[in-house]
């Protein structure tokens, strides 16, 4: 699967097409606070880190599947670093809960929180609002991954419809890197 900036291939999202993002599209900027006390403006970050980025949207520290997945990502950090891929995660969860979770699990990559849903909306990540069918989860986004090349062009997008073992971002990157030089 080669990336062509003029590609007409539509990215699959949960078995249905995402109407606005195609392979090779420039992805939107976002500016969010991190649980580490920093603030990341993605465009400014890219000026300093002109490399590939894997952006992981996850539900929150209360989601057992997301917890296991983020722990696996931490265990695979050396793989991402060897490929010069910067890993970032975004959630709508409470920043104190996210920080406690990240500290407990020893997560070293930036974790941002998006209470206003700005990045979720910009990246068209499905989210549940106040009218969600279950009250105990609150407003939250669904899992999604975006692998962006050094020019912030979309390379891969996947979401929650693929189960944990199959959707591991490391697996995406490994299979993708056989076709595209990363």
pLDDT tens per residue, range 130-150 = 665 555 556 667 778 888 877
Q: What is the CATH number of the domain that holds 72?
A: 3.40.30.10
Please choose, from the candidates 61, 18, 64, 4, the residue with its C-alpha nearest in 3D space to the C-alpha of residue 158.
18
Structural domain for 118, as ranges: 10-177
Is residue 66 a part of any domain in this protein?
Answer: yes
- Is the pLDDT at 27 greater than 70? The verdict is yes
Is residue 5 a part of any domain in this protein?
Answer: no
Is residue 17 a part of any domain in this protein?
Answer: yes
- Is the pLDDT at 101 greater than 80? The verdict is yes
Please choose, from the candidates 123, 121, 127, the residue with its C-alpha nearest in 3D space to the C-alpha of residue 160.
127
Confidence of residue 20 (pLDDT cuts 50, 70, 90): low
When comparing pLDDT for 51 and 126, which is higher?
51
Q: How many domains does the chain have?
A: 1
What are the strands of the beta sheet with 144-148, ordered from one edge?
Answer: 111-113, 85-91, 52-57, 144-148, 154-159
Q: Which residues pair with 154 in a beta bridge?
A: 148
Q: Can you say whether the dihedral through the CA atoms of 124, 130, 132, 138 is positive or negative? A: positive
What are the residue ranges of helices labelled H in the chain?
42-48, 64-75, 77-82, 95-105, 118-122, 164-167, 169-177
- Is the pLDDT at 6 greater than 70? The verdict is no
Question: What pLDDT was estimated at residue 106?
Answer: 95
Query: What is the value of pTM for the model shown?
Result: 0.74
């Amino acid at each position: 699967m080669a990336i062509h900036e003029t590609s007409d291939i539509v990215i699959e999202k949960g078995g249905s097409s995402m109407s606005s993002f195609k392979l090779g599209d420039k992805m939107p900027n976002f500016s969010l606070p991190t649980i580490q006390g920093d603030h990341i403006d993605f465009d400014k970050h890219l000026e300093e880190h002109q490399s590939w980025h894997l952006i992981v949207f996850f539900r929150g520290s209360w989601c057992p599947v997301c917890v296991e997945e983020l722990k696996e990502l931490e265990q695979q950090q050396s793989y991402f670093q060897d490929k010069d891929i910067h890993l970032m995660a975004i959630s709508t969860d409470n920043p104190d809960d996210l920080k406690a979770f990240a500290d407990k699990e020893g997560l070293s990559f930036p974790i941002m929180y998006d209470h206003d849903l700005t990045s979720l909306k910009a990246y068209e990540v499905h989210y549940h609002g106040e009218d969600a069918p279950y009250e105990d989860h609150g407003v939250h986004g669904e899992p999604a991954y975006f692998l962006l090349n050094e020019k912030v062009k979309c390379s891969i997008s996947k979401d929650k419809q693929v189960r944990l073992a199959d959707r591991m971002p490391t697996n995406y990157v490994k299979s993708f890197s056989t076709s595209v030089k990363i």
